[in-house]
């Protein structure tokens, strides 16, 4: 990073308080800023004298041999060492081009010039390292590379590194192949060599999993990433945390680790920002360029750097203030969505008891009524973010001796939804005299969502449902997904197949995500392949129920339906 952002050494500007006006003039003459600083022997600042002050003194008939300290001028404009960037913005301008930087004891420790402060930076010239090349890190790296940044992507997964070096997309994301072919091994270098990184900006995008037993967030990946960065950290670097973390993690975990290993001081020697990822898998490459980016920072310089960095990608950057404010914004984003979906799933349960169609009711109450944006229910709410982030938020509440009943209840409702589907299925099987352990079960849609389409299986509610079936000795499991690879389905203990193969002699068919390709299916033809009687579960209200009910022996069901 451009070293000129640091203040420069003060010695060439210093004049002892016993010096004459003439001696001060010699110092001023050597510098382009035409200024000097009068100090005690211990470098404690007394006055700031410019060549203009000396000219006025001479016009007032002062002698060149008089002590320079006797020149009268206004109170000096100072910059405090602990608040360099904030004070610089207040002091430096086109009129005041240079100012002394003093510590808390009033001792001058440097000089900051107007031309060196942050508005002059060309942030695209900075080298960037992204640690963690999953869905968040890789898409960000590709978009930044497309904007002209020089990126090094670091990940410890050797298989992933080899895939990327061979320009093979490790997951499905709309348009990713074009970006990979264009930028991998060019603007975006890939590797797992920690010694190879030498950057000005470090972005952490590693995962923060939840302990399956305690439901507490684990920050080991974050600590590993910060340890790698700290060994390379130098003055004026920027560290950006993009991973979802508990409120306070950046200040209380990341910064102390960086400072301890690097022996540098955050806010003085390097900057730290929290800039949460907000994209949806499947359209991340588009949203990185269009969605507003929230930026929080340790201090104003950190925020300004974060705003400049992400302002190169998107048209809207939002200065949210502190690190904690940005961390909380991320947790609010996903926990709020989880709560909305839980409300719909909760109402679906009640709707079933009254024999009502919840999807029809939601559609009607939302119609032309702007205050309502009730979502449709679903077969649970999973995915790597919405299944995890509410627990991180709950952890923050509990750390402050607060209850978090709404978020806890929402998570419970959304996690129970796949179990409810299983219970409805077993009830149907018993009613028609079938043993579910011997039935052919065909599941469609394994990715945690279908729109926007993704291949991500992490915390997919489909997998929760599959595990429930397997726990109850259901073995004849068949599966299809338009995006997920067949080997990934097979690894779940499910036989991958085509739609036609899956429907053939099926006792139950489940559509578990909402991929748009399902809308173009010849459902009438497929239903003919099913056994009589059989169970058709439409988890996203994709199909017209009348089209299914019209088939003898096929029972139509869904969320919010009997």
3-state secondary structure of 61: coil
Tell me which residue has tokens 């036609």: 500
For residues 32-45, average pLDDT? 90
| Beta pairing class for 317-321 and 441-444 | unpaired
- Same domain? 316 vs 216: yes
For residues 11-24, average pLDDT? 94
Q: Would the pLDDT of 117 be above 80?
A: no
Q: How confident is the model at residue 141 (pLDDT cuts 50, 70, 90)?
A: very high
The pLDDT, as a whole number, for residue 403 is 95
Please give the Cα distance from 493 to 479 (Å, whole number): 10
- Same domain? 145 vs 282: yes
For residues 190-217, average pLDDT? 92
pLDDT tens digits, one per residue of 265-294: 999 899 999 999 999 999 999 999 999 999
Q: Would the pLDDT of 3 be above 60?
A: no
For residues 9-16, average pLDDT? 93
Backbone angles phi, psi at 183, to 5 degrees: -115, -25
Residues 248, 251, 254, 257, CA torsion sign: negative
Please give the Cα distance from 209 to 112 (Å, whole number): 43
Does any domain span residue 338? no
The pLDDT, as a whole number, for residue 115 is 66
Backbone angles phi, psi at 214, to 5 degrees: -90, -15
CATH number, residue 285: 3.40.50.720
What are residue 191's DSSP bridge partners? 154
Q: Would the pLDDT of 132 be above 70?
A: yes
- Same domain? 54 vs 140: no
Q: How confident is the model at residue 92 (pLDDT cuts 50, 70, 90)?
A: confident
265, 295, 321 - which closes a domain: 321
Does any domain span residue 337? no
Cβ atoms of 489 and 479 within 8 Å: the answer is yes
3-state secondary structure of 129: strand
- Same domain? 90 vs 32: yes
Q: Would the pLDDT of 379 be above 90?
A: yes
| DSSP H/E element including 26 | helix 21-30
Count of C-beta atoms within a 10 Å radius of residue 119: 11
- Same domain? 141 vs 104: no
Cβ atoms of 144 and 313 within 8 Å: the answer is yes
Q: Would the pLDDT of 118 be above 60?
A: no
- Same domain? 77 vs 27: yes
Does any domain span residue 99? yes
pLDDT tens digits, one per residue of 307-342: 999 999 898 999 999 999 999 999 999 999 999 999
- Same domain? 509 vs 466: yes
Tell me which residue has tokens 């067949």: 486
Cβ atoms of 397 and 403 within 8 Å: the answer is yes
**Cα separation values, 346 from 27, 223, 338, 409, 420, Å:** 77, 38, 12, 10, 11
* DSSP per-residue string spanning 523-551: HHHHHTTS-SSEEEEETT--S-HHHHHTS
Q: Which of 279, 281, 211 is nearest to 246 (CA)?
A: 211
Lowest mean pLDDT among 82-96, 284-298, 415-429: 82-96
Mean pLDDT, the chain, integer: 92
Tell me which residue has tokens 């680790």: 257
Cβ atoms of 344 and 374 within 8 Å: the answer is yes
For residues 391-420, average pLDDT? 95
Q: Structure tokens of 346? A: 């909760």
Residues with Cβ within 8 Å of 455's Cβ and at least 6 positions away in sequence, in order, are 171, 172, 447, 483, 484, 485, 488
Please give the Cα distance from 360 to 347 (Å, whole number): 12
298, 321, 344 - which closes a domain: 321
Q: Structure tokens of 362? A: 């939601």
Strand order in the sheet with 14-16: 14-16, 35-39, 45-50
Residues with Cβ within 8 Å of 282's Cβ and at least 6 positions away in sequence, in order, are 172, 173, 174, 449, 451, 452, 453, 454
Q: Express as a percent the part of the chain with pLDDT over 70.
A: 96
- Same domain? 152 vs 280: yes
The pLDDT, as a whole number, for residue 84 is 66
Please give the Cα distance from 425 to 510 (Å, whole number): 10
- Same domain? 156 vs 300: yes
Does any domain span residue 98? yes
Q: How confident is the model at residue 1 (pLDDT cuts 50, 70, 90)?
A: very low
Q: Would the pLDDT of 515 be above 80?
A: yes
Q: Which of 36, 45, 170 is nearest to 105 (CA)?
A: 45
Does any domain span residue 452? yes
Backbone angles phi, psi at 412, to 5 degrees: -65, -45
- For residues 191, 194, 197 and 203, what is the CA-based torsion angle, rounded to 10 degrees? 90
pLDDT tens digits, one per residue of 432-485: 999 999 999 999 999 999 999 999 999 999 999 999 999 999 999 999 999 999
- Same domain? 225 vs 238: yes
R_g of the chain, CA atoms, integer Å: 31
Q: For residue 208, how far is the Cα from the chain centroid?
A: 11
What are residue 152's DSSP bridge partners? 129, 189
Please give the Cα distance from 335 to 358 (Å, whole number): 23
- Same domain? 279 vs 162: yes
Does any domain span residue 299? yes
End-to-end CA distance of the chain: 63
What are residue 100's DSSP bridge partners? 111
- Same domain? 535 vs 425: yes
Q: How confident is the model at residue 228 (pLDDT cuts 50, 70, 90)?
A: very high
Q: Structure tokens of 561? A: 């339906």
Does any domain span residue 23? yes
CATH number, residue 78: 3.10.580.10
Question: How many domains would you assign to the chain?
Answer: 3
Q: Which of 5, 73, 507 is nearest to 304 (CA)?
A: 5
Please give the Cα distance from 153 to 128 (Å, whole number): 9
In SS3 terms, 311-329 reads as HCCCCCEEEEECHHHHHHH
120, 138, 161 - which closes a domain: 120
Owning domain of residue 109: 3-120
3-state secondary structure of 517: helix
Does any domain span residue 379? no
Q: Which of 482, 478, 549 is nearest to 507 (CA)?
A: 478
pLDDT tens digits, one per residue of 525-542: 999 999 999 999 999 999
The pLDDT, as a whole number, for residue 21 is 95
């Amino acid at each position: 990073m451009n070293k000129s952002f640091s203040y420069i050494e003060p010695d060439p500007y210093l004049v002892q308080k016993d010096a004459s006006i003439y001696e001060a003039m010699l110092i001023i003459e050597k510098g382009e800023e035409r200024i000097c600083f009068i100090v005690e022997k211990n470098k404690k600042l007394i006055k700031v004298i410019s060549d203009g002050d000396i000219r006025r003194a001479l016009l007032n008939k002062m002698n060149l041999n008089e002590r320079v300290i006797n020149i009268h001028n206004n109170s000096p404009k100072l910059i405090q060492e602990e608040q360099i960037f904030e004070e610089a913005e207040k002091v430096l301008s086109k009129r005041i081009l240079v100012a002394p930087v003093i510590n808390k004891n009033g001792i001058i420790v440097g000089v900051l010039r107007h031309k060196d402060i942050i508005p002059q930076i060309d942030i695209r010239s900075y080298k960037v390292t992204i640690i963690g090349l999953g869905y968040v890190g890789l898409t960000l790296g590709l978009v930044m590379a497309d904007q002209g940044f020089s990126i090094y992507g670091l990940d410890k997964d050797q298989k992933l590194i080899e895939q990327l070096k061979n320009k093979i997309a490790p997951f499905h994301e709309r348009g990713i192949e074009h970006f990979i072919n264009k930028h991998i091994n060019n603007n975006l270098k890939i590797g797992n060599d920690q010694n190879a990184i030498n950057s000005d900006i470090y972005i952490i995008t590693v995962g923060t999993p939840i302990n399956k037993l305690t439901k507490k967030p684990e920050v080991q990946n974050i600590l590993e990433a910060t340890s790698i960065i700290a060994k390379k950290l130098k003055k004026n670097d920027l560290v950006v945390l993009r991973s979802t973390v508990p409120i306070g993690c950046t200040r209380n975990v990341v910064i102390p680790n960086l400072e301890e290993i690097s022996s540098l001081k955050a806010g003085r020697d390097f900057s730290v920002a929290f800039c949460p990822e907000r994209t949806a898998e499947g359209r991340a490459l588009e949203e990185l360029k269009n969605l507003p980016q929230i930026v929080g920072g340790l201090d104003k310089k950190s925020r300004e750097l974060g705003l400049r960095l992400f302002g190169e990608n998107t048209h809207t950057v939002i200065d949210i203030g502190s690190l904690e404010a940005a961390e909380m914004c991320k947790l609010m984003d996903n926990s709020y969505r989880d709560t909305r979906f839980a409300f719909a799933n909760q109402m679906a349960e009640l709707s079933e008891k009254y024999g009502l169609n919840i999807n029809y009711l939601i559609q009607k109450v939302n119609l032309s009524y702007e205050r309502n944006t009730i979502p449709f229910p679903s077969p649970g709410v999973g995915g790597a973010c919405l299944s995890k982030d509410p627990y991180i938020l709950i952890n923050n509440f509990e750390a402050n001796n607060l209850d978090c009943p709404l978020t806890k209840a929402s998570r419970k409702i959304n996690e129970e939804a796949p179990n409810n589907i299983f219970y409805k299925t077993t009830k149907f099987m018993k009613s028609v005299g079938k043993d579910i352990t011997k039935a052919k079960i065909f599941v469609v849609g394994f990715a945690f969502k279908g729109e926007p389409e993704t291949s991500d299986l992490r915390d997919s509610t489909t997998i929760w449902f599959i595990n429930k079936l397997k726990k109850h000795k259901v073995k004849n499991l068949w599966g299809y997904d338009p995006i997920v690879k067949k080997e990934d389905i097979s690894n779940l203990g499910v036989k991958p197949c085509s739609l036609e193969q899956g429907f053939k002699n099926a006792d139950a068919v489940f559509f578990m995500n909402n991929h748009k390709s399902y809308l173009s299916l010849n459902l009438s033809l497929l239903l003919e392949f099913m056994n009589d009687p059989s169970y058709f579960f439409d988890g996203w209200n994709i199909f017209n129920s009348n089209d299914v009910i019209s088939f003898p022996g096929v029972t139509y069901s869904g969320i919010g339906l009997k």
